[in-house]
Amino acid sequence: MSDARPRLVYVCEGGDCSEKGSVELHNDLKEMLKTADPDGKLKLRKYPCFGGCEHGINLALFPDKVFLSKLKKEDLPRVCDFVCGKSPVPAGHTGIVAKDVEQIVWDLLDTGF
Amino acid sequence: MNAVDLEARIPNNVGLKDDKKLLRALEQWQPRFLDWWREMGPSDFREDQIYLRTAVGVGQGGWANFDYVKMPDYRWGIFLAEPEPEKKIHFGDKLGDPVWDAVPGEHRNVLRRIIVTQADTEPASVEQQRLLGHTAPSLYDLRNVFQVNVEEGRHLWAMVYLLHKYFGADGRDEAEELLRRRSGHADNPRILQAFNKPTPDWLSFFCFTSFTDRDGKYQLAALAESGFYPLARSTQFMLTEEAHHLSVGENGVGRVVERTAQLMKEGTDPRTVGAIPLDIIQKYVYEWSSASYDLFGGEDSSNAATYFGAGLKGRYREGDGLYRDPKALEQAYTTQVAEGTALRTLEIPLRRAMNALLLEAYYADCKRIVDRWNRTLKRYDVAAEVKLPSLRFNRQQGIHAGKWYDPEGNPIAQAEFEKRRTTWFPSAEDYATVKSCMKKVYEPGKIANWIAPPAQGINNNPFEWEYVKFH
Ligand code: FES
Ligand SMILES: [Fe+2]
Ligand SMILES: [Fe+2]
């Protein structure tokens, strides 16, 4: 993975996560990033469903391969700082979904082409 | 960006009221669409109040409304995702050119074909599912199939808008044809084979939404990258609705698996209590997944290369910058194909392998849902697993067509395939078993014995909610 490639923040908008407010969370994060990431180094995207539905709201950071689960609106400031590289991974949100579920997400994003 | 006009006869955010000619044409098509809906949409239930989601626009502040609606009164609208300013084509030979807001003359026929093929699947699936309401396992499920149906109807609108606006008289003719073809009709069938297959029972429906609709998601995702910007923005919006269809399928099969697992754990044979044995579920999975693999087209395809080179159809998430070479000229795609009963390596120049790449992304996604079902089985201490067949299994299209493989993808002799056919695909008897389980349950909070209730209801309402109010 070359450094020229963007860092991507994927927020799940699948059925379960959107029921828990992921679309609003995505929109709020988009607003926050306007000031936190003024040069647009990060790309914020929606993702149809990661398969970790029972642990939503889920978010994936790529190519860093960090998978965050059980996010709520109140976690957003910490998430925003983290994806901008200003603070470490927020505690209590990683390693929650099964390893193979996470791996499939990375496999899909790591295209090899 | 045009404002959202929800009061118009055709709700839209494409500024229809300022394009009188287009508006007139679409208003003429509208009653014919409604005729088609009455004839080929869900049979009965016309007067009933269904708790449905209706798309009302894009961007901030939510994109959909939930309310009770009679299906024929559903507000089918035309919505495009918000445009990005100064958007450029991000792959293929036209890399870096501004996106097109009109159809480039040289791609007119190809684009029309792409749009018509996509469009045709939308009404087709409504036709396939039209009788399911009569055997719904719960009000929640009844509502879900209708939700899927009305949104497929809206997807048809989305595509018909493109045909009318950008393809002149040809486009209008195509829009008429879309209402004339019929799923499974001997003389005038739908374009793609999987959309002519009968969907006679709810397990078929859940397999359809798991595997066949998921093909739709990947096709839409590839078109969402298109240099023809109205198509890209249209399919981007459709994907938002599609996510729910896929979760209906994934959770649907998952709930059938869960019910079967519960019974197995108790030591009850599912057959004896009107539920579905695991081996039949497996056969349905083999049948529907392999039929859906074919929808991606040939793995080695000059058409696919043309579409990519011309900037019409990109790779999955191409715009996210996940690929090293946005022109896809440098690499080759490697796969394996049967030669006799051995496998040999086949190299396909990357551009020609675009269908194969999309199919692989799809396969990883299918793998994810099957793994999820298997976690359920494990939770109930059931040792057996549901298997997703290899991409080589039972193919009628592409490099594996006319070759014979077992579900693991090992090459086998044709005679062997025929011998084992009944162990892989549902027999008439299996269909009859499933059919015998299909009895309607219309009481709020109640559910048929062959399926577990969902983990949660719709729009924060509980499963027990009255999702359908009969008149
Ligand atoms: S709905 Fe978010 S991971 Fe599935
Ligand atoms: Fe659709
Ligand atoms: Fe769909």
Instruction: Give the whole-angstrom CA distance, residue B385 versus residue B171.
Output: 47
Query: Which of A49, A54, A101 to mutate for ligand 1's pocket (most ligand atoms within 8 Å of CB)?
Result: A49
Are the beta carbons of B25 and B34 closer than 8 angstroms? Answer: no
Instruction: Characterise B183 by phi-psi region: left (phi > 0), alpha (psi -120 to 50), beta (else).
Output: beta
Any B CB within 8 A of A2 CB = yes
Residue A67 in 3-state DSSP? strand
pLDDT tens for chain B, residues 1 to 471: 678 888 899 999 999 999 999 999 999 999 999 999 999 999 899 999 999 999 887 654 567 889 999 999 999 999 998 898 999 999 999 999 999 999 999 999 999 999 999 999 999 999 999 999 999 999 999 999 999 999 999 999 999 999 999 999 999 999 999 999 999 999 999 999 889 998 999 999 999 999 999 999 999 999 999 999 999 999 998 988 888 898 899 999 999 999 999 999 999 999 999 999 999 999 999 999 999 999 999 999 999 999 999 999 999 999 998 898 999 999 999 999 999 989 999 999 999 999 999 999 999 999 989 998 999 999 999 999 999 999 999 999 999 999 999 999 999 999 999 999 999 999 999 999 999 999 999 999 999 999 999 988 888 899 999 999 998
pLDDT of the residue at B339: 95
pLDDT of the residue at A55: 93
Does residue A2 have a pLDDT over 80? no
CA distance B384 to chain A (A): 19
pLDDT of the residue at B58: 66
- Lining ligand 1 with CB less than 6 A are A 12, 14-17, 49-53, 56, 58
CA dist B252 → B265, B284, B373, B389 (Å): 20, 13, 10, 19
pLDDT of the residue at B225: 97
In chain B, where are the structural domains located? 16-469
Query: Is CATH 3.30.930.10 the classification given to domain B16-469?
Result: no
Nearest-by-CA chain A residue for B370: A51
Any A CB within 8 A of B337 CB = no
Structure token digits, residue B424: 């892989």
Any A CB within 8 A of B334 CB = no
Nearest ligand to the CA of A20 is 1
Nearest ligand to the CA of B158 is 2
Any B CB within 8 A of A56 CB = no
In chain A, where are the structural domains located? 7-109
Query: In chain B, which residues have their Cβ closer than 8 Å to the Cβ of A5?
Result: 321-322
pLDDT of the residue at B55: 86
Confidence of residue A4 (pLDDT cuts 50, 70, 90): low
pLDDT of the residue at B62: 61
pLDDT of the residue at B42: 95
pLDDT tens for residues B184-194?
999 999 999 88
Nearest-by-CA chain A residue for B330: A113
Closest by Cβ to B367, choosing from A14, A98, A104: A104
Is A14 in Cβ contact with B368 (below 8 Å)?
A: no
| B31 compared with A14, residue with greater pLDDT | B31
Does the model's pTM come out above 0.90? yes
Is B368 in Cβ contact with A101 (below 8 Å)?
A: yes
Closest by Cβ to A104, choosing from B242, B333, B364: B364
Q: Which ligand 1 atom is the nearest neighbour of the CA of A16?
A: 1
pLDDT tens for residues B119-155?
999 999 999 999 999 999 999 999 999 999 999 999 9
Is B325 in Cβ contact with A15 (below 8 Å)?
A: no
pLDDT of the residue at A67: 97
Ligand 3 centre and the CA of B236: distance in Å? Answer: 13
Nearest CA to A76 out of A40, A28, A19 is that of A28
Confidence of residue A98 (pLDDT cuts 50, 70, 90): confident
What percent of chain A clears pLDDT 90, i.e. is strictly above it? 59
Nearest CA to B224 out of B343, B120, B319, B335 is that of B319
Parallel, antiparallel or unpaired: strands B49-55 and B64-70? antiparallel
CA distance B215 to chain A (A): 13
In CATH, what number does A7-109 get?
Answer: 3.40.30.10
Angle at CA of residue B24, ends B20 and B25, nearest 5° = 120
Closest by Cβ to A15, choosing from B239, B243, B321: B243
Residue A59 in 3-state DSSP? strand
Mean pLDDT, rounded, of chain B: 95
Ligand 1 centre and the CA of A17: distance in Å? Answer: 5
Query: In chain B, which residues have their Cβ closer than 8 Å to the Cβ of A43?
Result: 320-321
- Residue in the block written with tokens 């048929």: B448
Query: Which of A53, A69, A105 to mutate for ligand 1's pocket (most ligand atoms within 8 Å of CB)?
Result: A53
Mean pLDDT, rounded, of chain A: 89
DSSP-assigned beta bridge partners for residue B343: B338
Ligand 2 centre and the CA of B120: distance in Å? Answer: 10
| A52 compared with B185, residue with greater pLDDT | B185
Closest by Cβ to B243, choosing from A5, A48, A54: A48
